[in-house]
Amino acid sequence: MTKPVSICVIGSGYVGLVAAVCFAEMGHSVVCVDNDESRVKTLREGGVPIYEANLPELLKKHRGHGVEFTTELGSAVERSDAIFIAVGTPQGDTGAADLSFVEAVVSEIARAITSYKVIVEKSTVPVYTNEWIRRVMQRYGIDHALFDVVSNPEFLREGTAIVDFLHPDRIVVGAGSERAARLMESIYEPITGGSYYTRTDALLGACSSETPAKLLLTSAQSAEIIKHASNAFLALKISFINAVANLAESVDADVEDIAAGIGLDSRIGHKFLHAGLGYGGSCFPKDVAAFHWVAQQQGLNFELLQEVQRINDAQKDVFFNKVRSALWTLRGKKLAALGLAFKRDTDDIRESPALSVIKRLIEAGASVTAYDPAAMDRAKEVLPPSKQMKYADSAIEAAEDVDAVLILTDWKEFATLDLAELNRAVRFPIVIDGRNLYKPLYMAEQGFTYVSIGRPAVYNAQQGKPRRLIA
């Protein structure tokens, strides 16, 4: 391995915290800065503020050794060679990313810098943010020879972020100088050179010493667009298969078969071809909107991105109408909602389709009892317990005496429920599955009326031949 690099990561949110522990895992010396004193205190004392596989173990392994946490940005900048900016870039009213947090951090860096630093955009930002960072530094009178600005976008999936970081499909570095590019190459050398994968304590994943991670060197502008374009394209695949699902259901076809047939084409692949409630989370909705805004600023009409958003928004309406069609009226109905996070293996409820559906069901007069393996505490902040909104300690408890069970998040736990126990718990054996976790005919055989996405709905086997429900 090359000489360890002193790294400062600004922001201990999802991206910053994952980056900090993974850089420490690679062998670098990391200081993670956040202005939230309570969060820093939690991290110093051994707490883990987000739900993410492998994160608790790596924090325990490197806390106080490879990575430390502080609120003092100036001293952290002073003793670091590379400064990774990993603060939030929330969506503004116009769809543009709000870069005020990035600007504030850059201003603090400018006040602290005394020697050459590489300033790295790790947050998801629109094209030309690197140039604005450069301008802010120069406005503070910082000599251009004292810094370089690099774009190094993250491609992390919540739930598998640690493995994604250490076993990436690609590492994109947008650098405008040879000096900055060399430093970034040395930071990632443990995984691009393969030495990390020879360690006995290395986390297992797709990469190895024989097939190490790949680093793509581009301009900063290209790197910034790669991030937005990647997320927009994945969102497009999700909206596309949901549009296909609605067509498939209207002609009694099965979208799962269709997706399998499409995905076998090596040019397309099977990933992100899962019909359901649509995408959510902190990335796709924000990045699609921001990418569209960037195109508009350049005088381009990227209408395709508007359609991606429209289909995604409409998918929640599709599911709501399925619930209403299956139950006739919603006022007074008691429903179990299985899942609150926007996807499995995370406690993130930002832009969660599940919460949108639940809010609308409550507005229509239904009462909901919800269960999620990880996201209930966060959900209670948005949907506090009330007469119409309750929380349970298990999926079966949530289903007690309900008129229908709604599957809203694709947790593996929900795909392996004891269906006999579930059938005994409910008032009426109706399952409305927004994630297509079960086979329709199997559910009918288990005594359920089963409604899913892009597939004909079925009645239970005791009612004779499965037949289509009115949707």
Tens-digit pLDDT profile for residues 291-339: 998 899 899 999 999 999 999 999 999 999 999 999 989 999 999 999 9
Put residue 290 in one of left, alpha, beta given phi > 0 → left and psi -120 to 50 → alpha: alpha
Q: What is the pLDDT of residue 461?
A: 54
Quote the tokens at residue 353: 């389709």
Burial class from Cβ neighbours inside 10 Å (0-12, 13-18, 19+) for residue 321 reads exposed
Q: Which domains does the chain have, with CATH numbers?
A: 6-218 (3.40.50.720), 227-310 (1.10.1040.10)
pLDDT, one tens digit per residue, over 75-85 is 999 999 999 99
Residue of 48, 73, 273 whose CA lies nearest to 162: 48
Quote the tokens at residue 132: 């604005």
Q: What is the pLDDT of residue 362?
A: 97
Cα–Cα distance list, 383 to 224, 238, 358, 359, 389 (Å) = 36, 27, 9, 8, 7
Characterize the bridge pairing of strands 389-391 and 215-218.
unpaired
Q: Do you know the residue count of the chain?
A: 471
Active site residue 283: yes
Beta strand segments in 372-455, E: 389-391, 404-407, 430-433, 449-451
Residue 449: strand, helix, or coil: strand
Q: Which of 22, 32, 207, 283 is catalytic?
A: 283
Question: What is the mean predicted confidence (pLDDT) over 8-22?
Answer: 95
Question: Per-residue pLDDT for 444 more than 90?
Answer: yes
pLDDT band for 469, please (50, 70, 90 cuts): very low
pLDDT, one tens digit per residue, over 218-265 is 999 999 999 999 999 999 999 999 999 999 999 999 999 999 999 999
Residue of 87, 104, 96 whose CA lies nearest to 11: 87
Buried b (16+ CB within 10 A) or exposed e, 219-233: ebbebbbbbbebbbe
pLDDT, one tens digit per residue, over 90-101 is 777 777 778 888
Residue 151: strand, helix, or coil: strand
Q: What is the pLDDT of residue 465?
A: 41
Question: Per-residue pLDDT for 464 more than 60?
Answer: no
Alpha carbon dihedral 73, 76, 80, 86, in 10-degree steps, equals: -50
3-state SS, one letter per residue, for 13-66? CHHHHHHHHHHHHHCCEEEEECCCHHHHHHHHCCCCCCCCCCHHHHHHHHECCC
- C-alpha 392/C-alpha 338 separation (Å) is 10
CA atoms within 13 A on the CB side of 398: 28
pLDDT band for 466, please (50, 70, 90 cuts): very low
Contact by Cβ (8 Å): 404, 384: no
The label of the residue with tokens 């298969």 reads: 241
Residue 386's contacts (CB-CB under 8 Å, 6 or more residues apart) are none
Cα–Cα distance list, 88 to 112, 131, 283 (Å) = 21, 19, 11
Residue of 214, 34, 222 whose CA lies nearest to 130: 222
